[in-house]
A and B are shown apart, each in its own frame.
Chain A
Amino acid sequence: MAMSDWNIVTRSMRHRFFSSVVTILSVAIAVGLVTLLISMRDAGENSFKRGTGNVQMLISKEPGPLPSVLNSMFYAQAPGNPITWAQYLELKRSYPFAWSVPTQLGDSYKDAPVMGTDESFFNDFQPVQGLSWSLDQGAYFAAPFEVVVGSDAAARLGLSLGDEINLEHGAPRTEGGHTHDQFAFRVVGILSPTHTAHDRAIFTPLESSWILHAHDRREAIFGHGIVTTGEDLVADDMKITAIYASLGERKAALTQVLSALRRDPNWTVANPADSVGGLFQIVSNIDQILLAMAIAVMLSSGVSILLALYNSMEQRKRQIAVLRVLGASRTRVFGLVLTESALIGLIGGGVGVLLALAGGLLVTKVLAQRVGIVVEPALPIDGYLIIVLASVAISCVAGAIPAMVAYRTSVVRALQPSG
């Protein structure tokens, strides 16, 4: 095969293998970081918004809309201020909700939060807009002390149909929680994955949760060994922590209802999608700092290309001089060095994108396990192309100085016998 500029460039890189690999890696890491950050930005927000499903209003007594959304839809902490069942019924009567779902958080099994709710949670609430719940195995709960387990919780805790579990009072990882050994909850259904935070939760009828709390109340009065049933519930036991609600297609009324609820000091009302948007607005400054840092890393990798090529120029001057003697023009040797630089940028950019994709898979897995939401960092194909092209462009700029050294190499001086 005839010799070509390509042969000379690739052989030159192979000749300085270690230096070439280190430079390519530094570019790859920089490109990987930038790619991952850019792809995470949109994916994070989209993923959080996805988890709010078809809820138009989240009503609670939390101190603000954002904690309300984070606690009641993303299971960050157990909400603190309860809503009585009577208040809930009054609220339902007062506003033209198409549907409303009462939810109660405060118990857990191992590290999975347990939500008390009713069948409307599975009938009316869609965890992802347009996507209703579906069961992977079994059935939805129909009686107290039955539980339906989110897909991620089932996989992580090794739960299967028919298993019996004892819930703990308090949210996961809460100090001072205690296990209700007297009450065995039976797994009757396992949900299909929704790739939202709900996948790591366990669901049980509200009445079960209320009985647990009634039992604590009664034990304090009557001592250990008592038996508590639904019959023993009093109004003070029947509390919830948040209400998922929607006006359905009556979107025109939404603003009015929201403003009416917001005027009422008894309620905290959140539009979940707006709250998530607000959250990302808050973190966008940090995001921009991270992005600036990633771009700085990318520029520093450009400097490392410059240094690697520039330092190699001393030993390559003779090679360049020989090529000049053989008939290569100054422009051509300039092009050879620039091509090498661009090739480093191209390989580094490609490897960087692969690193970002691998890193994205890791982030997806970790977030799915830890937070229960699926963040899928991905860019459109032209996004990746633009990043690789930017890497090539920065590399070319970095390679211009060593290429200029090659261009200006004095053939006569470089060919003088050394020593």
Chain B
Amino acid sequence: MPSDQSHPVLAISGLEHRYAHEPIPAIKVPELTLQPAQQLVLTGSSGSGKSTLLHLIAGLMDPTAGTILVSGTNPHQLRGHTRDRFRGRTLGMVFQTHHLLMGFSAEENVMAALMFSDIPRGAHGARSRALLDSLGITTPTRRVEQLSIGQQQRVAIARALACDPALVLADEPTASLDPDNAEVALDLLQQACRSSGAALLCVTHDRRFLDRFDRAEHLLAPHEQLQKAGGA
């Protein structure tokens, strides 16, 4: 989905999310903006709410306060299948453990994402193979469980980019890889996003890769924000 250049890809303001029966919020993000094709890395300690933030952006959870705009649309104002369709067409997600569909081939995993897009069905196969090929997967018909961890990560990247998303959300994409493979995977993810024009929001606690991104932000857990405010 080509990004709308008149809007930031992501605009967050006054975001807060509190789980039921929890006294303090799980996450607080006063302001965060991401421009089209921009690549942002978000670091933070465990429990700072990095994954929760991604789930909120993807519309998988509703915030208790604040707004999130993705390409100018607030996904939390969309209901039911409209929100699901919006997510499928606007966002790509890459997970730490890939979350591929086991029992399906690499190509089918990518095509699974295309099922929910507007791209004509006849083009799904060629598009999937081209994407996988560009990421170095030359055996697209092999089942994903027969691929190495590194190859599985590439399939996950291809799947995230299959519908030309405006924004790719990557949740600890290198956490399950050894340092060499982590670097390769991140290279591929960043290059693929650049080629497709998608913005990238990558959350990690690995600080080695900060320099590779256009911007780096550090997410403080709400209690850290309180301590910081108290110290100031």
Seen from chain A, the residues whose Cβ lies within 8 Å of a Cβ on chain B are: 1-5, 7-8, 11-12, 14-15, 318-319, 321-332, 411-412, 415, 417
Given A2-B124, A327-B87: 8 more A-B contacts, CB < 8 Å: A7-B108, A8-B112, A322-B99, A326-B159, A327-B163, A331-B80, A411-B60, A417-B97
Task: Report B-chain residues with C-beta under 8 Å of the C-beta of A326.
Answer: 88, 112-113, 115-116, 159
Question: B125 contacts A1, CB within 8 Å?
Answer: yes
Question: B121 contacts A329, CB within 8 Å?
Answer: no
Determine if B93 is an interface residue (Cβ-Cβ < 8 Å): yes
Question: A331 contacts B115, CB within 8 Å?
Answer: no
Residue of chain A at shortest CB distance from B93: A325
Report how far A291 CA is from B113 CA in the complex, Å.
48
Determine if B61 is an interface residue (Cβ-Cβ < 8 Å): yes
Interface string of B48-85 (1 = CB under 8 A from A): 00000001001011000000000000000000110011
Kindly name the residue among B80, B97, B100 whose own CB sees the greatest number of chain A CB atoms within 10 A.
Answer: B97
Report how far A205 CA is from B125 CA in the complex, Å.
82
How many B residues have CB within 8 A of the partner chain? Answer: 35
Determine if B151 is an interface residue (Cβ-Cβ < 8 Å): no
A327's partner among B88, B96, B101, B121 (CB-CB below 8 A) is B88
Interface string of B121-147 (1 = CB under 8 A from A): 110110000000000000000000000
Question: A325 contacts B102, CB within 8 Å?
Answer: no
A322 with B116, Cβ < 8 A, contacts A2-B125, A327-B85, A412-B61 known: no
Cross-chain pairs A/B with CB under 8 angstroms, 15 sampled: A2-B121, A2-B122, A3-B108, A7-B108, A14-B103, A15-B102, A322-B112, A326-B116, A326-B159, A327-B89, A328-B115, A329-B84, A330-B81, A332-B84, A412-B61
B99's partner among A1, A14, A318, A330 (CB-CB below 8 A) is A318
Question: A327 contacts B122, CB within 8 Å?
Answer: no
Instruction: List the 7 closest pairs (A to B, CB-CB), nearest first.
Output: A327-B88, A327-B116, A329-B81, A2-B124, A3-B111, A2-B121, A15-B103
A105 CB, min distance to chain B CBs, angstroms: 68
Task: Report A-chain residues with C-beta under 8 Å of the C-beta of B55.
Answer: 411-412
Task: Report A-chain residues with C-beta under 8 Å of the C-beta of B117.
Answer: 327
Task: Report A-chain residues with C-beta under 8 Å of the C-beta of B89.
Answer: 327
A325 with B87, Cβ < 8 A, contacts A11-B104, A15-B103 known: yes
Residue of chain A at shortest CB distance from B55: A412
B180 CB, min distance to chain A CBs, angstroms: 22
Task: Report A-chain residues with C-beta under 8 Å of the C-beta of B124.
Answer: 2-3
Question: B80 contacts A329, CB within 8 Å?
Answer: yes
A330 with B122, Cβ < 8 A, contacts A2-B114, A15-B103 known: no
Report how far A386 CA is from B84 CA in the complex, Å.
37
Residue of chain A at shortest CB distance from B82: A329
Question: A322 contacts B101, CB within 8 Å?
Answer: yes
Task: Report B-chain residues with C-beta under 8 Å of the C-beta of A323.
Answer: 101, 112
Report how far A329 CA is from B55 CA in the complex, Å.
16
Task: Report B-chain residues with C-beta under 8 Å of the C-beta of A11.
Answer: 103-104
Task: Report B-chain residues with C-beta under 8 Å of the C-beta of A325.
Answer: 58, 60, 87, 93, 99
Residue of chain A at shortest CB distance from B162: A326
Question: B116 contacts A328, CB within 8 Å?
Answer: yes
Report how far A6 CA is from B122 CA in the complex, Å.
16
Question: B102 contacts A3, CB within 8 Å?
Answer: no
B174 CB, min distance to chain A CBs, angstroms: 14
Report how far A327 CA is from B90 CA in the complex, Å.
10
Task: Report B-chain residues with C-beta under 8 Å of the C-beta of A331.
Answer: 80-81
Task: Report B-chain residues with C-beta under 8 Å of the C-beta of A3.
Answer: 108, 111-112, 114-115, 124
Report how far A276 CA is from B163 CA in the complex, Å.
71
